[in-house]
């Protein structure tokens, strides 16, 4: 089966490579030619537009920065809807606002095109490993058709409800991740300022109730002073903006999420937006004058 894949950034490139490892044929497109060239070297075929991808593939996966880009790729000039045949399936694996996913789905449905929203969690490391957590919204029959393909890129793929449910689940995920990193940053800065070796604190608590996947992934980066992006602060700002906008629309208060957003906005304003979101610790290091790492 030939799979179309549009969006070859930090996440998209390794996802394509995992599809190729699973022996799927992939026709890939990105606005940056160098990104296309990299996946072509891995065995994919390059395309010149989203329309061309849709003309040749009945399954088209998109992995794009935000809702505006997804709408343009799906509905714009030389977009997917200009080339897709009736009955084709779009699986949007971008993280966008649930309402935007529902809007795009409506436009697809009018043209006889199926759509799932299927954002992922795990960042670049799990994209490379092929162990992403995939959260899906849409029709169960369509989900069943693409389930095995999704598992070429992820360790799990869970249908969470109707269209938009995947991105609602992702927003919940991103709130939990953001607040976990904030809490970890506060706690380890406190430890360091009190004169206790944060490496020892990590060893002592990581196996207890305070331990988490987020702590295990991000604290070592903080202790090393390594903020190379697996998931950028600017992208997390985008996700929290979508969470806050969605919450305002439905009347669900997110006071701690708003505080995490302000911390990330401060870091963005100070030039750290392209750092990994573990760089939230820099906010606390600046406040206290205490660094976790000598790097």
Residue 50 to residue 28: CA distance in whole angstroms: 9
Q: Yes or no: say if 118 and 145 are a contact pair by the CB < 8 Å rule.
A: no
Residue 157 to residue 260: CA distance in whole angstroms: 28
Residue (of 276, 271, 270) closest to 236 by Cα position = 276
How far from 261 is each of 177, 178, 238, CA to CA, in Å? 12, 9, 9
Distance of CA 99 to the CA centre of its chain: 17
Residue 259 to residue 245: CA distance in whole angstroms: 15
Sign of CA dihedral 47, 53, 57, 61: positive
From 51, 170, 238, 282, active-site residue: 170
Write the burial class of residue 38 (CB in 10 Å: 0-12 exposed, 13-18 middle, 19+ buried).
Answer: middle
Q: What is the 3-state secondary structure (H, E, C) of 174-187?
A: HHHHHHHHHHHHHH
Tokens of 106: 């409506």
Q: Is 291 a catalytic residue?
A: no
Catalytic residues: 170
């Amino acid at each position: 089966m030939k799979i179309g894949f549009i969006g070859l950034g930090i996440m998209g490139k390794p996802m394509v490579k995992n599809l190729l490892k699973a022996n799927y044929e992939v026709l890939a497109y990105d606005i940056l030619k160098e990104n296309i060239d990299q996946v072509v070297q891995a065995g994919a075929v390059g395309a010149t537009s989203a329309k061309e991808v849709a003309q040749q593939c009945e399954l088209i996966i998109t992995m794009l920065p935000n809702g505006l880009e997804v709408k343009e790729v799906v509905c714009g000039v030389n977009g997917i809807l200009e080339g897709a045949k009736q009955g084709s399936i779009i699986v949007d694996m971008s993280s966008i606002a649930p309402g935007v996913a529902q809007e795009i789905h409506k436009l697809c449905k009018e043209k006889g095109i199926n759509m799932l929203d299927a954002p992922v969690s795990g960042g670049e490391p799990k994209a490379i490993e092929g162990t992403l957590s995939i959260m899906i919204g849409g029709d169960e029959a369509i989900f069943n058709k693409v389930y095995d393909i999704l598992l070429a890129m992820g360790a799990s793929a869970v249908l969470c409800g109707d269209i938009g449910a995947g991105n609602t689940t992702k927003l919940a995920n991103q709130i939990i991740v953001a607040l976990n990193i904030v809490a970890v940053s506060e706690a380890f800065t406190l430890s360091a300022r009190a004169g206790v070796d944060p490496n020892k604190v990590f060893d002592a608590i990581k196996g207890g109730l305070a331990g988490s996947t987020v702590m295990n992934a991000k604290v070592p980066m903080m202790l090393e002073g390594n903020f190379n992006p697996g998931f950028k602060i600017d992208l997390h700002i985008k996700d929290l903006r979508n969470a806050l906008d969605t919450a305002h629309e439905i009347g669900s208060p997110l006071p701690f999420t708003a505080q995490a957003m302000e911390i990330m906005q401060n870091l963005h304003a100070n030039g750290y937006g392209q750092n990994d979101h573990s760089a939230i610790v820099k906010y606390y290091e600046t406040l206290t004058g205490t660094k976790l790492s000598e790097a």
